[in-house]
Amino acid sequence: MNSAITAVLGPTNTGKTHLAVERMCAHSSGIMGFPLRLLAREVYDRVVAQKGADRVALVTGEERIVPPDARWYLCTAESMPDHDAAFVALDEAQLGADPERGHVFTDRLLHRRGREETMILGSEALRPLIQSLVPTAEIVGRPRFSRLTYAGAKKISRLPKRSAIVAFSAEEVYAVAEMLRRLRGGAAVVMGALSPRTRNAQVAMFQAGEVDYLVATDAIGMGLNMDVSHVAFASLTKFDGRRSRRLTVAEMAQIAGRAGRHQRDGTFGGVSEEGPGAFTPEEVFAIEEHRFPPLQHLYWRDGKPDLSSLDALIASLEARPSEPGLVAAPEAIDLAVLKRLADESWVRERARGRGVARLWAACGIPDFQKLGLDPHARFVGRVYAYLTEGNGLIPHQWFADGIQRLETVAGDVETLAGRLAAIRTWAYIAQRADWLADPAHWAERTRAIEERLSDALHASLTQRFVDKRTSALIRQIGADSSALPVTIGEQGEVLVEEHVLGRLDGFRFTVSPDARASDKRLLLSAAEKRLGGERHKRGQALVEAEDVAITLDEVAVMWGGHPVAKLAAGQTLARARVVLARDLDCLARPQRDAIQARLDRWLAARLAKEVPALPALAALARDPTVTPALRVVAAALEAGGGMTQRLPLRSAIERLTGEERHRLRRIGVTIGALDLFDPRLLKPSAARWRHALLALAGAAAERSPAGATVLPRGAHGATLAAGFRPLAAQAVRVDLVERVARAAHEARAGKAAFVPDAALATSMGMTPATIERLMAELGFRRVGADGGWVWQGRRPARRPAPSAVQAGGAFAGLAALVGHG
């Protein structure tokens, strides 16, 4: 075939691929071979836009879109069809020097020709081998459109926006992406193992500016066009399938050349200033000047091996080239599998005639999952067994079972990536038209599974390596830190754009609970800087708040449902203080002082209303002008929060004068037969305050249920400290005990036996045993069959003064106690 052959050589960003696509579209038909399925798909989409989907074909190992009237074929190098076309092009032809796949590119370079025009695209380093192996080719050099300069080493945290960071293993890619998520809000991830759908979705995030960083393997160097300004190398060492080695200068340049597109200059560098991860001056010079040592050889293997017998096939695949510039390719995985299966007797039995071609085709199944030689050889052997028995087709059920295990989209990034690699194997098999009874059905089924897995992997990569809140913050802070658009929702949620950073509860900002620990500092800092106005407004509202809007919860002072201060112990129980919550430290000092003054006024008003006796008792306890007996009683009452037992104070009470007793009554104290108390403190609101004040002094007791008059003994609040006197199996509120005591002593004053109204007592909840114990405590004994009680001459304390005993018959006024607060 005497077609024109043109070798277009040059560095990256010289428009070689674009030129070839334009030339192909100018012909009536064409075939282009690419190094990556991703790149073939990218160019396929471009040509479809020009020629229409019904005229363009995509052929790769795992995907085959071939319309009946297809004229232009976009393929991976391995899948280039061997039919006549007006134009043929091979992209990245220098990959003929790749130990693993080089023999494929060399074969296409030597033998695939267009009827009218052939183009070979590659690096300038390929020039001498083109001159030797394809002497009729016209070599055209193309300069780079933009400059590529070395920008030095930068830590990942200091890389400029629109950077691509290149790593050489999945683990390293994930580690770098995780670091960028913490530091810069996230990164897109691109690896050769990703499906085109996942790769495109990830790149779309980067291209749209949702993230400013891209983390990729060296697949980025194979012509994938993205808006990258800087390429940073996470390392300069890769495992090539046999050993870990340093990248060649040509490989470095191929990857670095992704920076800058068309007329826009680009930069490259590393993340390490010294050691094996640092560029040498010689490497920098070669990359900037595009000067690379010429390739010395290309790898070769017979592209059309002898299929007459199994041994002839192996011999032809192991043959050595005769032309200078070509060397025998290292043993690839397909040949290694072939030789392993050739040792099986059953394989040799079947590998006769057409069976040899079928065996070699089966050995071509790629090891997408990187299982290794033995597991992969066993899988290929099973496929070959099915192809050479029965009807010569893979069983429907076996194939269905194999892909069914991969249909779930649950799991992490690694799990989904593993399933995606596995479905590629089944998709490859489905593309072999003579291996399945219904290949079109299974091709569509595997394609649908790959798409679902691709979408799930994209979502998982985004969830793991992109924090949209942090990314939004970084973009806004980078643009204008004073204009960060923080808004407050109705429920206190704090948002930047549509992303929830956390909540503002009162004056406290809490980072959203779904934020990772490493992100919380950034979110907290961003929000704190922008919430000053809202907090100032809330502070002013607190200064102007009505008393009813401020409440007490235990010892916490609440406003708007949020704690703004707490009570603290003062010099006396009645002189408690208000201490502002630390959440209010965010306010300016003058506003904090105004809030302190407002809450001080509120506390004074509440104490005067709820516990009015306590300040007077505190004053009496420290008044040197009153008698010691009054000071002792007042001190005991103050220490008990307005309540205390009578018995321990018996001698002091007996020494009180009538005027001193009257003085206590004016304060609000009842001197009962068994206890001294301020009955106002038994009301629910006052009881809550009394409990809080005692808690400050370290003497808090359990609070009784609001409105209770009788409790089971041992129940919460069934104690003297809470205002209930334990009697038998019950505890009776002290003011009720005092009413019973007064009624009993009133009856005694009339020289009559005291007979309680059993029905009334029962309706109040007091059991006969409780009444009996109470009467005994009061110094009465039972007489007669009617259950009357008479004074027995012994009493635990002095009877109340006549003025303190109200008139009335037996149990007079007891009914009024029911429900009394």
- Residue 325 within any structural domain of the chain: no
Q: What is the pLDDT of residue 795?
A: 47
> Once rounded to an integer, what is the mean pLDDT over residues 792-800?
48
Provide the residue range defining the domain that includes 566: 550-722
Question: Looking at the structure, do residues 554 and 524 belong to the same domain, yes or no?
Answer: no
Question: Looking at the structure, do residues 190 and 250 belong to the same domain, yes or no?
Answer: yes
Six token digits for residue 142: 């193309």
Q: What is the pLDDT of residue 807?
A: 29
- Residue 195 within any structural domain of the chain: yes
Confidence grade of residue 127 (pLDDT, cut at 50, 70, 90): very high
Residue 35 φ/ψ, nearest 5 degrees: -75, -20
Six token digits for residue 456: 């799930």
Measured CA to CA in angstroms, residue 314 lies from 103, 230, 302, 337 at distances of 16, 47, 11, 11
Out of 235, 259, 289, pick the residue that ends a domain: 289
> Once rounded to an integer, what is the mean pLDDT over residues 244-272?
85
- Residue 496 within any structural domain of the chain: yes
Task: Dump pLDDT digits (tens) for 690-731.
Answer: 888 888 877 666 777 877 888 888 888 788 888 888 988 888
Is 527 a residue whose pLDDT tops 80? Answer: no
- Contact between residue 642 and residue 677 where contact means Cβ atoms under 8 Å apart: yes
Find the CATH number of the domain harbouring 159. 3.40.50.300
Six token digits for residue 81: 């069809």
Confidence grade of residue 819 (pLDDT, cut at 50, 70, 90): very low
- Strand order, beta sheet including 643-645: 643-645, 675-677, 670-671
- Among the ranges 137-146, 429-438, 464-473, which has the highest mean pLDDT value? 429-438
- Residue 314 within any structural domain of the chain: no
- Residue 236 within any structural domain of the chain: yes
Measured CA to CA in angstroms, residue 163 lies from 160, 174, 180, 647 at distances of 6, 16, 11, 84
Q: What is the pLDDT of residue 713?
A: 87
Question: With the C-alpha atoms ordered 155, 156, 160, 165, is the resulting torsion angle positive or negative?
Answer: positive
Question: With the C-alpha atoms ordered 789, 792, 794, 800, is the resulting torsion angle positive or negative?
Answer: positive
CA dist 379 and 377 (Å) reads 5
Q: What is the pLDDT of residue 583?
A: 87
Q: What is the pLDDT of residue 404?
A: 93
CA atoms within 13 A on the CB side of 545: 25
Is 803 a residue whose pLDDT tops 90? Answer: no
* Total number of residues shown for the chain: 821
> Once rounded to an integer, what is the mean pLDDT over residues 595-619?
87
Confidence grade of residue 185 (pLDDT, cut at 50, 70, 90): confident
> Once rounded to an integer, what is the mean pLDDT over residues 656-661?
90
CA dist 91 and 8 (Å) reads 10
DSSP 137: P
Q: How many CB atoms lie within 10 A of CB 12?
A: 26
Model's pTM, two decimal places?
Answer: 0.61
- Distance separating the N- and C-terminal Cα atoms of the chain: 111
Contacts within 8 Å (CB) and 24+ apart, 110-114: 110/134, 110/303, 111/303, 112/31, 112/33, 112/80, 112/82, 112/88, 113/1, 113/3, 113/5, 113/88, 114/3, 114/27, 114/30, 114/31, 114/85, 114/86, 114/87, 114/88, 114/89
Out of 264, 289, 314, pick the residue that ends a domain: 289
In this structure, of 51-55, 75-79, 390-394, 746-750, the range with the lowest mean pLDDT score is 746-750
Is 816 a residue whose pLDDT tops 50? Answer: no
Q: What is the pLDDT of residue 535?
A: 85
Strand bridging mode 56-59 / 72-76: parallel
DSSP 438: S
Task: Dump pLDDT digits (tens) for 768-777.
Answer: 888 888 888 8
Q: What is the pLDDT of residue 220?
A: 77
- Residue 603 within any structural domain of the chain: yes
Task: Look at 56 and 715; give whichever has higher pLDDT.
Answer: 56
Contacts of residue 611, Cβ cutoff 8 Å, sequence gap at least 6 = 574, 641, 642, 678, 681, 686, 689, 690, 693
Estimate to the nearest angstrom the gap between the alpha carbon of 83 and the chain centroid. 52
Is 277 a residue whose pLDDT tops 70? Answer: yes
CA dist 36 and 224 (Å) reads 9
Q: Which amino acid is at 580?
A: L
Count of structural domains within the chain: 6
Determine the 3-state secondary structure of 191 from DSSP.
coil
Question: Looking at the structure, do residues 755 and 622 belong to the same domain, yes or no?
Answer: no
- Which residue carries 């799990």 as its tokens? 415
- Contact between residue 703 and residue 718 where contact means Cβ atoms under 8 Å apart: no
Question: Looking at the structure, do residues 642 and 774 belong to the same domain, yes or no?
Answer: no
Task: Dump pLDDT digits (tens) for 67-110.
Answer: 999 999 999 999 999 999 999 999 999 999 998 899 999 999 99
Question: Looking at the structure, do residues 593 and 621 belong to the same domain, yes or no?
Answer: yes
Question: Looking at the structure, do residues 716 and 729 belong to the same domain, yes or no?
Answer: no
- Contact between residue 507 and residue 539 where contact means Cβ atoms under 8 Å apart: yes
Three-state secondary structure string covering 85-136: CCEEEECCHHHHHCCCCHHHHHHHHHHCCCCCEEEEEECHHHHHHHHHHCCC
Q: Which of 569, 589, 585, 565 is nearest to 577 (CA)?
A: 569
Question: Looking at the structure, do residues 585 and 523 belong to the same domain, yes or no?
Answer: no
Estimate to the nearest angstrom the gap between the alpha carbon of 560 and the chain centroid. 31
CA dist 576 and 568 (Å) reads 6
- Which residue carries 């408690």 as its tokens? 576
Is 36 a residue whose pLDDT tops 90? Answer: no
Q: What is the pLDDT of residue 757?
A: 60
Question: Looking at the structure, do residues 677 and 756 belong to the same domain, yes or no?
Answer: no
Question: Looking at the structure, do residues 612 and 626 belong to the same domain, yes or no?
Answer: yes
Is 798 a residue whose pLDDT tops 70? Answer: no
Question: Looking at the structure, do residues 338 and 282 belong to the same domain, yes or no?
Answer: no
Q: Is 3 exposed, middle or buried (0-12, 13-18, 19+ CB in 10 A)?
A: middle
Q: What is the pLDDT of residue 814?
A: 34
Is 812 a residue whose pLDDT tops 70? Answer: no
Q: What is the pLDDT of residue 363?
A: 95
- Residue 545 within any structural domain of the chain: no
Strand bridging mode 244-246 / 675-677: unpaired
Task: Dump pLDDT digits (tens) for 288-310.
Answer: 888 888 999 999 999 999 999 99
DSSP 620: H
- Which residue carries 């779930």 as its tokens? 408
- Contact between residue 74 and residue 58 where contact means Cβ atoms under 8 Å apart: yes
- Residue 42 within any structural domain of the chain: yes
In this structure, of 366-380, 635-649, 780-794, the range with the lowest mean pLDDT score is 780-794
Q: What is the pLDDT of residue 24?
A: 97
Out of 687, 722, 757, pick the residue that ends a domain: 722
Q: Which amino acid is at 473?
A: L
Contacts of residue 216, Cβ cutoff 8 Å, sequence gap at least 6 = 164, 165, 166, 167, 173, 189, 190, 191
Task: Dump pLDDT digits (tens) for 151-182.
Answer: 999 888 889 988 999 998 888 888 898 888 87
Task: Look at 2 and 435; give whichever has higher pLDDT.
Answer: 435
Question: Looking at the structure, do residues 166 and 251 belong to the same domain, yes or no?
Answer: yes
Question: Looking at the structure, do residues 561 and 701 belong to the same domain, yes or no?
Answer: yes
Is 117 a residue whose pLDDT tops 80? Answer: yes
Percent of the chain with pLDDT over 90: 41
Confidence grade of residue 529 (pLDDT, cut at 50, 70, 90): low
